[in-house]
Amino acid sequence: MKRALGVSVYPDHSEIEKDKAYLKKASECGFSRIFMSMLEVTQGKEVVKEKFKSLISYAKSLGYETILDVAPTIFDELQISYDDLTFFYEMGADGIRLDVGFDGNKEARLTFNPFDLAIELNMSNDVAYLDTILTYEANVPFLYGCHNFYPQEGTALPYDFFERCSVRFKKHGIRTAAFINSQAGKIGPWDVNDGLPTLEMHRHLPVDIQTKHLFATGLIDDVIIGNAYASDEELELLGSLNRYQLELTVEFTKEASDVEKIITLKEQHFRRGDITDQVVRSTEVRKKYNDDANPAHDNTKEFQIGDIVIGNDAFGKYKNELQIVLQPHSDDRKNKVGQITEEELLLLDFVKPWTKFRFKEK
């Protein structure tokens, strides 16, 4: 399934012209979906309709898919019914996210709405909710899953729970989404905004690390910035990110040679299928660079987790093999050429047998 980047906007807490400027910038950076909150609407039905319709129409002109976040209170406030989604269709929405669930049968029926609106489910519960809906023969192509975000510090999901919840959706081929936290964004749905991530471990990390992590899990198709507004620098950083292959950021040692930098940065790497606990081995490069000399340097100290090492001239047939250190060890036949940035060490857990990966220089 193709992967997408998304942003969130909160029309009841922002100015429409600022929202439009934000959407335009994000679109230029390759963003293509919008989470638009309707949880806070307090104005009348027609006022709400026109305001959201204007913004959604502009978003459509930029190629966005817009999912509206709704709750039962909104239906009461606007005097509309789950059995008739005309209101959302007339606003131009591509789908609605159900903040709370029903009995499974109702959700299944909603996926057959005459407007082909997607019905997005809350993924952040480790229960058989999706299975119940599928039992009622839902229209699966119009069924999405999206995790919650958590405005209060310390309340977002732990990774193991997130993984269990996500697997429930991914195993059925459901399109999935989760939120990351902009370190610049100040706008959210509520009066508490300590950031809006799905995973607590992400709350204070740079946006690119959060995004790399979610994509690396293989469980999330769409990554959405939960709070508004992300900075231009954050949008541009995510826009340049490789969504389909893990790219690890390397800081080179002063003594790293030109050939070592070329091996690291210019080649397609993959982990051997017959793995070892001590290192990630990228072995094809040693064949290509077999004739290139590689004198010893930075080879006498104990290598640490995240170090990138390359076999030197003393390593025989293993000369110029690239490895990522997973366990501390010493071997003077290897040169330390750099190290993965500390914040990205968590990504090493996702370099599995045959995983393809690349490097970029910090």
Q: With helix as H, strand as E and coil as C, how does the chain read?
A: CCCEEEEEECCCCCCHHHHHHHHHHHHHCCCCEEEEECCCCCCCHHHHHHHHHHHHHHHHHCCCEEEEEECHHHHHHHCCECCECHHHHHHCCCEEEECCCCCCHHHHHHCCCCCCCEEEEECCCCCCHHHHHHHCCCCHHHEEEECCCCCCCCCCECHHHHHHHHHHHHCCCCEEEEEECCCCCCECCCCCCCCCCCEHHHCCCCHHHHHHHHHHCCCCCEEEECCECCCHHHHHHHHCCCCCCEEEEEEECCCCCHHHHHHHHHCCEECCCCCCCCEEEECHHHHHCCCCCCCCCCCCCCECCCEEEEECHHHHHHCCCEEEECCCECCCCEEEEEEECHHHHHHHHHCCCCCEEEEEEC
Instruction: Look at residues 243, 276, 303 and tell me which one is the last residue of a structural domain.
Output: 243
Q: Tell me, yes or no, whether 225 and 264 share the same domain.
A: no
> What's the CATH code of the domain at 138?
3.20.20.70
Q: Tell me, yes or no, whether 24 and 127 share the same domain.
A: yes
What is the residue-level pLDDT of the chain in tens, covering all 362 positions? 899 999 999 998 899 999 999 999 999 999 999 999 987 666 778 888 888 999 999 999 999 999 999 988 888 878 888 889 999 999 999 999 997 888 999 999 999 999 999 999 999 999 999 999 999 999 999 999 999 999 999 999 999 999 999 999 999 999 999 999 999 999 999 888 899 999 999 999 999 999 999 999 999 999 999 999 999 999 999 999 999 999 999 999 999 999 999 999 999 999 999 999 999 999 999 999 999 999 999 999 999 999 999 999 999 999 999 999 999 999 999 999 999 999 999 999 999 999 999 999 99
Q: Tell me, yes or no, whether 256 and 204 share the same domain.
A: no
Q: Tell me, yes or no, whether 55 and 187 share the same domain.
A: yes
Q: Tell me, yes or no, whether 197 and 147 share the same domain.
A: yes
Q: Tell me, yes or no, whether 143 and 287 share the same domain.
A: no
Q: Tell me, yes or no, whether 8 and 131 share the same domain.
A: yes
For residue 289, what are its two tokens?
């660079």
> What's the CATH code of the domain at 258?
2.40.100.10
How many structural domains comprise the chain?
2
Q: Tell me, yes or no, whether 335 and 321 share the same domain.
A: yes
Instruction: Look at residues 214, 243, 272 and tell me which one is the last residue of a structural domain.
Output: 243
> In terms of residue numbers, what domain contains 111?
4-243
Instruction: Look at residues 243, 278, 305 and tell me which one is the last residue of a structural domain.
Output: 243
Q: Tell me, yes or no, whether 21 and 155 share the same domain.
A: yes
Q: Tell me, yes or no, whether 185 and 329 share the same domain.
A: no
Q: Tell me, yes or no, whether 50 and 70 share the same domain.
A: yes
pTM of this prediction exceeds 0.75: yes
Q: Tell me, yes or no, whether 205 and 324 share the same domain.
A: no
